Homo-oligomer: A and B are copies of this chain.
Amino acid sequence: MHRYGQPTSVIYNSIGVIKTPYVGKAPYQPVETGSGEFYLEIDEPYVEGLKGLDSFSYIYVLYFIDRVTGPARMTVTPPWSDGRAVGLFASRSPERPNPIGLSIVRLKKIIGNRVYTSGLDVFDNTPLLDIKPYIKDLDSKPDADYGWVEDADENQHLALHIQGIPHEH
């Protein structure tokens, strides 16, 4: 139990690894049409937990962002913010106090201990922490918005990133 100003620590251990084609650099966000193979390789003790997962078209993938290069700063300037500084928690920056990555991907198929997905925006061999089903009514919010991104001149650029449409930077 957390009390104000007295942090609670927790240790998590990876349950597998995320395999992607990205070794030197990775995209900012999932690219559904990303070329190459993307899959979650689940360690043996957890494979039984995949039963029934393939009945969902989308899943959440949670992981430890283990190759962060910088410290967490409370104000950041995201690539599509048009130079504007925003608070860290209003961004998806990987440099966070607790580097937990969250991506929503399309589930393609499960073969043995491998969960094949659409493009994931992480480096190869990223430690996998959890998988959760994405359930339509619970997780899809058609009345959501774009927050500060809407105001940035660069929001068309973000849209291209999100949709995975090739474009010049």
Q: Is the interface of A mostly helix, strand, loop or mixed?
A: mixed
Q: Which residues of B contact A133 (CB under 8 A)?
A: 89-92, 147
As for how many copies of this chain the complex holds, the number is: 2
Question: Is the CB–CB distance between B8 and A9 below 8 Å?
Answer: no
Question: Is the CB–CB distance between A75 and B87 below 8 Å?
Answer: no
Please tell me if A138 contacts chain B, counting CB pairs below 8 Å. yes
- Closest residue to A123 on the B side, CB-wise? B1
Question: Is the CB–CB distance between A89 and B43 below 8 Å?
Answer: no
Question: Is the CB–CB distance between B13 and A11 below 8 Å?
Answer: no
Q: Which residues of B contact A127 (CB under 8 A)?
A: 1-2, 7-8, 10
Please tell me if A26 contacts chain B, counting CB pairs below 8 Å. no
Produce 1/0 per residue, A8-20, CB < 8 A to B: 1111111111000
Question: Is the CB–CB distance between A104 and B48 below 8 Å?
Answer: no
The 27 sampled A-B contact pairs (Cβ below 8 Å) are A1-B67, A4-B43, A5-B44, A7-B15, A7-B127, A9-B12, A10-B12, A10-B64, A11-B11, A13-B98, A46-B97, A52-B147, A52-B148, A53-B87, A55-B151, A57-B147, A58-B144, A58-B145, A62-B102, A91-B133, A92-B135, A96-B130, A104-B141, A135-B146, A136-B146, A137-B159, A139-B141
